[in-house]
Amino acid sequence: MQGVQLVVAAVLGLQQPIVVPPVAPALALDALHAGAWQDEQDPTDSLWRAARQAFDRGDYTSAANLYGDLTRRYPSSTRAGDALYWAAFALYKNDDLNQARSLLVTQQRRYPKAATLRDGNALLARVQTALAKQGDEEAARWLSIQAQPPQPPESPEVGRNAAGQACPDEDDDDDVRIAALNGLLQMDATNALPILKKVLMRRDACSAGLRRKAVFVVSQKRGAETEDILLNAARNDPDSECRQQAVFWLSQVGSDRAVAALDSILRTATDPELQDKAIFALSQIHQGRAGEILRNYAANDRSPDEAREKAIFWLGQERSPENAAFLRALYTRLTGEELKEKVIFSLSQMGGDDNGRWLMEIALNDREPVEMRKKALFWAGQTGTNLDQLVGLYDRMQNQEMKEQLIFVYSQRHEAAALDKLIRIAKTERDTELRKKAVFWLGQSHDPRAVQALMEIINQ
């Protein structure tokens, strides 16, 4: 009894409020304009602060004027180039696209070392796209020029460029080029798709990053040609990440051809990540043979267990009687505990009376491994199995571990009957370890009846 009382005393101690000493307030950092608060002697400081405050409150006209005034009055200051970007951004927010474009071009020409230059280039692509949609010929020409892929080096080596040097960082150029391609695709897909195909046909080592971005841009346009491009990239691109992205975006196509290609990739791929993407893509296609392919793969003993687990998981996310019946039947044929556990979890996610009854059958089956029984019992409790059934089960259960699991299941149910059962176990259970478990979980409850029960146990 002393051991149980010590546990109760400790539990009650944990329920007392903890007094936290006051903490001095920390200084807030300005994330929007990192480094904006410079030396007080900086003559641009007051203008910068006023412009920032105007921008933050949505007064974009005032913000653009103040940022522009800073650049005009202090063109050689360290903030001048960044002020042009923020002025252009404010104008963009106000739909003053022509003036925004002018300021961004000025930033590129006069302030090539500005901290916001890369953001400015990306914003310029957005501005040009918006202008091109309005019929601006200059913007349309800019998009077409920027969208053109760069010339690949001759005789490239894997991982190095033609000069034998490591690939340069092309992120800035690639980001602008991809933004331009995306804009061109939105307004003129006929001209954009051939350019994207050229990008994806490149095989020089330094083009992999650009090809990955191009796959995403292609995926944003629906149509037969889009499907052809994605299928080709999924099957033939030498870059693993590029293939994975193409497979992922095939889920948005959903045609019979796409499903057949995903089936082939799933069965023949040796790259586990590519298989994972194929499984996910098939799980997102709710028509045709996609579900059948996933079920066949999950049932195939020759498939890798980790990939089968993922197939089982995604089958559980598609709540259909067909998938539920398949998973219940599959469980009886499985030998690996991890696969069995995944089936239990997937059926619990589906919900439904049939699956709830099945979980309880597994929990009560003495021939099942105790870990599987415990997991089935836990998920049965989580998915709304009748509490009266769970409460009545404790006294009939002989297995110690299963009784411990039942105590935990009661603790996760917030009905009065579950708390009543925990109190009875804490007061009357002959097994000291089980009583301690019940006492512990009573201590996690904020119900006054739990506190009263713990006090009564201490005073016994």
CATH number at residue 120: 1.25.40.10
Q: Is 22 a residue whose pLDDT tops 50?
A: no
Q: Say if residues 455 and 443 touch (Cβ distance below 8 Å).
A: no
**pLDDT grade for 216, boundaries at 50, 70 and 90:** confident
Residue that the structure tokens 């991809």 belong to: 178
Ramachandran angles phi, psi of 351, nearest 5°: 70, -170
Indicate whether 75 belongs to any domain: yes
Q: Is 2 a residue whose pLDDT tops 80?
A: no
Task: Tell me if residue 343 falls in helix, strand or coil.
Answer: helix
pLDDT reported for residue 398? 86
Cα atoms in the Cβ-side hemisphere of radius 13 Å centred on 58: 0
Q: Is 35 a residue whose pLDDT tops 50?
A: no
Of the ranges 93-97, 144-148, 440-444, the best mean pLDDT one:
93-97
Quote the CA–CA distance of 396 and 441 in Å, as a whole number.
21
pLDDT reported for residue 281? 93
Q: Is 460 a residue whose pLDDT tops 80?
A: no
Indicate whether 100 belongs to any domain: yes
**pLDDT grade for 31, boundaries at 50, 70 and 90:** very low
Indicate whether 354 belongs to any domain: no
Indicate whether 204 belongs to any domain: no
Indicate whether 199 belongs to any domain: no
Q: Is 108 a residue whose pLDDT tops 60?
A: yes
Quote the CA–CA distance of 333 and 299 in Å, as a whole number.
9
Rounded mean pLDDT, 168-195: 65
Which two structure tokens, joined as six digits, stand for 89? Answer: 């951004």
- What's the domain range around 76? 46-149+172-187
pLDDT reported for residue 30? 41
Q: Is 16 a residue whose pLDDT tops 80?
A: no
Indicate whether 78 belongs to any domain: yes
pLDDT reported for residue 13? 47
Contacts of 40 (CB under 8 A, 6+ apart): none
pLDDT reported for residue 6? 39
Contacts of 21 (CB under 8 A, 6+ apart): none
Indicate whether 287 belongs to any domain: no
Whole-number percent of the chain with pLDDT over 90: 43
Which two structure tokens, joined as six digits, stand for 187? Answer: 């307004």
Indicate whether 128 belongs to any domain: yes
Count the domains in the chain: 1
Q: How many CB atoms lie within 10 A of CB 164?
A: 7
**pLDDT grade for 129, boundaries at 50, 70 and 90:** confident
What would the pLDDT profile of 54-85 be if each residue is shown by its tens digit? 999 999 999 999 999 999 999 999 999 999 99
pLDDT reported for residue 283? 94
Q: Say if residues 275 and 244 touch (Cβ distance below 8 Å).
A: no
Distance of CA 261 to the CA centre of its chain: 25
Rounded mean pLDDT, 286-294: 90
What would the pLDDT profile of 366-394 be if each residue is shown by its tens digit? 899 999 999 999 999 988 788 888 888 88
pLDDT reported for residue 41? 60
Quote the CA–CA distance of 351 and 67 in Å, as a whole number.
57
Whole-number percent of the chain with pLDDT over 70: 82
What would the pLDDT profile of 322-355 be if each residue is shown by its tens digit? 999 999 999 999 989 999 999 999 999 988 889 9
pLDDT reported for residue 15? 46
pLDDT reported for residue 446? 82
